[in-house]
Amino acid sequence: MSNEIEQIKDPGLPAHVHRRADEDEKFAKKAETQVAILFILSALGTLLLIASYIFIPTDSFIFIPVMGETNAHQLFLGLGMAIALFCIGAGAIHWAKTLMPDEEVIAERHEFRSSDEDRAEFVKTVKAGAGAAGLGRRPLIKRTLGLALGLSGLTPLLLLRDLGPLPKDDLTKTSWKAGTRLVTDPGNRPIKASDLEVGAVAQTLPELAPGEERTLNNIGKDAVLLIRLRPEDFNLTAERLSWTHEGIIAFSKICSHMGCAVALYEQQTKHLLCPCHQSTFDVTRAAKVIFGPAARPLPQLAITVDAEGYLVAQAPFTEPVGPSFWERSS
Amino acid sequence: MTARERIAGNVAGYVDDRTGAAKWMKKNLTKVFPDHWSFLLGEICLYSFIILLASGTFLTLWFDPSQREVIYDGGYQPLSGLKMSAAYASTLNLSFEVRGGLLMRQIHHWAALIFMVGIVVHLLRVYFTGAFRKPREFNWIIGVGLLTLGIVEGFLGYSLPDDLLSGTGIRIAEAIIQALPLVGSYISFFAFGGAFPGEAFIPRIYTVHVLLLPGIFLALITVHLMLVWYQKHTQFPGPGRTEKNVVGYPLMPIYMAKAGGFFFIVFGVTAFLGAVASINPIWLYGPYTPGQISAGSQPDWYMGWLDGLVRMSPPIETHAFGHTISWNILLPGLILPGIMFTLLALYPFIEQWATGDKREHHLLDRPRNAPNRTALGAMALTFTLVSLMNGGNDIISTTFHLTINQMMWFSRIGVLVLPPIAFVIAKRICLSLQRADRDLVLHGRETGRLVRLPHGEFVEVHEPISPEKAWTLTSHEQLAPLELPEYDQAGVRRPKALANKLRNRVSRANAVAVPKATETERRELEGHH
């Protein structure tokens, strides 16, 4: 016996086993009937779809277990369509599996690599072509062509310039000014300190001047949350404490992380939570980030009351609201 | 010749006179495709793409891609009289007034989810069986491109209705753009036609969603399929199957019927889902306004891992020289995904570098026979799954009564610790399976029959496995590790000594295997019995 290790051998493609339908016409006939039944079911599905479209009103509801109250029009329309399509597919596949020949066929593969002569020929052709164009010999043409192509590439960039204005101070300024009244959203009613009980939260916006329209762009920067705590709950610097009024503190509602609305207030812990990425801000400590990916506190709006007792901004926001950007300085 | 044959012959002749198609067609109509359930995954993607084109076209006939403000006076009472964008109002109209509109919306959304699931599972199949190896590297890269575009296309699609949930998604996308150093605010202002949300974004992404990206998809899918056609499909190892042949069934009639039928099955299942399974009920979310949000905001699943990465990111921002860099956005939102997709696209070349194997491969690997690749895949998958899970951390916390703190810390630690553990476990499992294969070939199948020998000993009877099975289990080759010398013959240190050392190391790890059973060993064992 030699020392050569002998590998297990390929026994070759196993002998083909015939299906019952190949050998017995009775089974073939049965398969044919099954395929026909599937196609007829499909036709019935389309009829169901047509009938539902015409006869079931769009506002009729039926109760289906698990699904609950369901719009019957859309349900039967969809079921009809599903049956119609699925049964065509099932019929075709059943047909292929039972009646079409199922003997495996062997096809040969060919190497993709071209022959060495062809490759050499190709290189020669390319070289000859490039030589005929004379790019190598005429550097002036090469360089000026490069210049022309490069410059023409600027055209689409230039033409896209008017997609939008430059940011200017749009990211840093909001509509809040000294003396702007805080009004409820929705409702646009000015708010008195007495309107808010301890523990209450209110969503507010700056009051509009007569004739002014509020756009979503304004709301995206101006939205402010008012929260009323007991003044002794605060743990603020003297300056920040002076920005509150009788335990009412105001923060930008736009998350300092990615700009979602920080809408979840937990009364017990006095935490604000952003539902997008769960950044959590401590209201008692000037919205300091205590959890999550946000890196900065929510900007605090200094508030006070005007002569009539309505809540107003003492001053604009001292920093940009919303997510960070390159030009932001702090 | 019957009349029908004559007519068919005339038509074919007419076409062939003008194109010479007969020669190509006669060869390709009987083209052989191998059969395996996992080869259907790519088909699912193709078919759901066709369903997306069809249902999407239907939706465009009623959808109004405009952020112009309108007052809703349609059939859905709870929102009656509310201000909203025309996009949102027309989506409500599609859902409540247009007959079949809601069905088509739901089919479109389900088809998009199935498209993305199909792509990911197809990618995993191609990865774990080594189907990306030479000569199919181009198709792998095209596939990674399709995956990336699919994520973008899906995101743009569900952003169009301008409901409260999707508007929040756009807000996050805007924050990612805005976080780009140097150009962020400018690109954002150009994209949105000014500050967020503006009135330009939805009409713009509509063009991208229905024209630009589908066009690129169509082109890439065409090339993808042409390459599959031209290079012929890979096949699993088995008796009679070699690197030089394809064993399977001819296109006509078998695959025309099977693949054609499968299209209708996929469409049928999607229609069924559209009929019974409510998806993206935008009327419950309300119109978008930047000042509001709903709890439990979740993106579609294929964006979930990105959102999960953003959620678990540490709160780091750098402020220096009057400028801000938001690492908490850039790292999880752009840098990490960028690295992941680049590594994914380059994987075939990385593996080639490690194995030094430059030959063509048409026989697939069983995942266990490439333990390192399988383990790397398990590692990447674990990373993505932990991220995906963290994308739903709020929902998981409320469902299982955990704190969001526990979830977040589990993810932050898990995303670093679990992937290497998955690597080790997967590699061990692969080697164990190799050992099991070896035992099976050498000792045969356990029959479950216990026999008591005359001297009282109990043994289980083993039955030899069939020659076909034995071949299937042993036909793979086991590569020896590369041994690139550090010094050349003259004793001089070779230029790329360090790179070669690393390559040797990786290659050694790659070549770890349980030696496969051989005929010689089998015979020796028979001699003993």
Check: CB of residue B206 under 8 Å from CB of residue B170.
no
Task: Please state the CATH superfamily assignment of the domain spanning residues B31-289 in this structure.
Answer: Cytochrome Bc1 Complex; Chain C (1.20.810.10)
pLDDT tens per residue across span B129-158: 999 999 999 999 999 999 999 999 999 999
Cβ of A75: how many Cβ atoms within 10 Å?
20
Average confidence score pLDDT of chain B: 93
CB-based contact, B26 to chain A, within 8 Å: no
Residue B363: predicted pLDDT = 96
Residue B368: predicted pLDDT = 96
B405 CA: distance to closest CA in chain A (Å): 8
CA distance B250 to B232: 12
Residue B481: predicted pLDDT = 87
Sign of CA dihedral B402, B408, B410, B411: positive
Instruction: Answer with the residue of higher pLDDT: B490 or B268.
Output: B268
pLDDT tens per residue across span A75-104: 999 999 999 999 999 999 999 999 998 888
Residues of A in contact with B269 (CB under 8 A): 82, 86
What mean pLDDT do residues A242-249 have?
95
Residue A1: predicted pLDDT = 44
What mean pLDDT do residues A39-47 have?
98
What mean pLDDT do residues B119-134 have?
97
SS3 B94: helix
Which among A104, A102, A80 is positioned nearest to A93, based on CA atoms?
A: A102
Residue B353: what are its φ and ψ, rounded to 5°?
Answer: -65, -40
CA distance A138 to B337: 45
CA distance A95 to A93: 5
The predicted complex's ipTM stands at 0.93
Cβ contact A89–B325 (<8 Å): no
**Among B239, B294, B313, whose Cβ lies nearest the Cβ of A13?**
B239
Q: In the structure encoding, which two tokens stand for residue B41, read together?
A: 């995954």
Which among A168, A188, A181, A37 is positioned nearest to A98, based on CA atoms?
A: A37
Residues of B in contact with A293 (CB under 8 A): 310-315, 328, 332
Q: Cite the DSSP H helix spans in A153-222.
A: 154-159, 216-222
pLDDT tens per residue across span B353-379: 988 899 999 999 999 999 999 999 999
CA distance A262 to B292: 8
**Among A58, A75, A261, whose Cβ lies nearest the Cβ of B275?**
A75
CA atoms within 13 A on the CB side of A222: 23
Residue A329: predicted pLDDT = 86
pLDDT exceeds cutoff 50 at A5? yes
CA distance B139 to B446: 42
Residue B422: predicted pLDDT = 98
Cβ contact A326–B180 (<8 Å): yes
pLDDT tens per residue across span A94-131: 999 999 988 889 999 988 899 999 999 999 999 998 88
pTM metric for this prediction: 0.94
Residue B483 binned pLDDT confidence (cut-offs 50, 70, 90): confident
Average confidence score pLDDT of chain A: 93
Please tell me which residue of chain A has the smallest CA distance to B297: A276
Mutation target to probe the B interface, by most B beta carbons within 10 A, among A216, A257, A319 is A216
pLDDT exceeds cutoff 80 at B491? no
pLDDT exceeds cutoff 70 at A3? no
User: What residue has token string 């290659």?
Assistant: B507
pLDDT tens per residue across span B50-68: 999 999 999 999 999 999 9
pLDDT exceeds cutoff 70 at A31? yes
Residue A318: predicted pLDDT = 95
Residue B495: predicted pLDDT = 76
CA distance B126 to A287: 49
Domain A182-313, CATH among 3.40.190.10, 3.100.10.20, 1.10.3720.10, 2.102.10.10: 2.102.10.10
Residue B522 binned pLDDT confidence (cut-offs 50, 70, 90): confident
pLDDT tens per residue across span B161-204: 999 999 999 999 999 999 999 999 999 999 999 999 999 999 99
Residue B458: predicted pLDDT = 92
| N- to C-terminal Cα separation, chain B | 67
Cβ of B461: how many Cβ atoms within 10 Å?
12
DSSP one-letter code for B135: T
pLDDT tens per residue across span B311-353: 999 999 999 999 999 999 999 999 999 999 999 999 999 999 9
Locate the domains of chain A by residue range: 20-98, 182-313
Instruction: Answer with the residue of higher pLDDT: B480 or A205.
Output: A205
CA distance B271 to A74: 11
CA distance B319 to B335: 19
**Among B240, B244, B316, whose Cβ lies nearest the Cβ of A295?**
B316
pLDDT tens per residue across span B223-241: 999 999 999 999 999 999 9
Residue B528: predicted pLDDT = 64
Residue B482 binned pLDDT confidence (cut-offs 50, 70, 90): confident
pLDDT exceeds cutoff 90 at A180? yes
Adjacent-strand bridge partners of A68:
A64
pLDDT tens per residue across span B57-101: 999 999 999 999 999 998 899 999 999 999 999 999 999 999 999
Residues 282-341 of B with CB under 8 A from A: 288-297, 307, 310-317, 319, 322-326, 328-329, 332
Residue A134 binned pLDDT confidence (cut-offs 50, 70, 90): confident
Locate the domains of chain B by residue range: 31-289, 381-478+513-529
Residue B173: predicted pLDDT = 95
Adjacent-strand bridge partners of A69:
A63
Residues of B in contact with A91 (CB under 8 A): 261
pLDDT exceeds cutoff 90 at A137? no
Q: In the structure encoding, which two tokens stand for residue B65, read together?
A: 């891609």
Residue B501: predicted pLDDT = 86
Check: CB of residue A58 under 8 Å from CB of residue A71.
yes
How big is chain A by its Cα radius of gyration, in Å?
A: 37
Cβ contact A5–B518 (<8 Å): yes
Q: DSSP states of B172-188 as a string?
A: HHHHHHHTSTTTHHHHH
B68 CA: distance to closest CA in chain A (Å): 11
Which among B29, B267, B259, B30 is positioned nearest to A97, based on CA atoms?
A: B259
Cβ contact B268–A105 (<8 Å): no
Please tell me which residue of chain B has the smallest CA distance to A57: B99
Cβ of B43: how many Cβ atoms within 10 Å?
16
pLDDT exceeds cutoff 90 at B487? no
Please tell me which residue of chain A has the smallest CA distance to B179: A325
Residue B529 binned pLDDT confidence (cut-offs 50, 70, 90): low
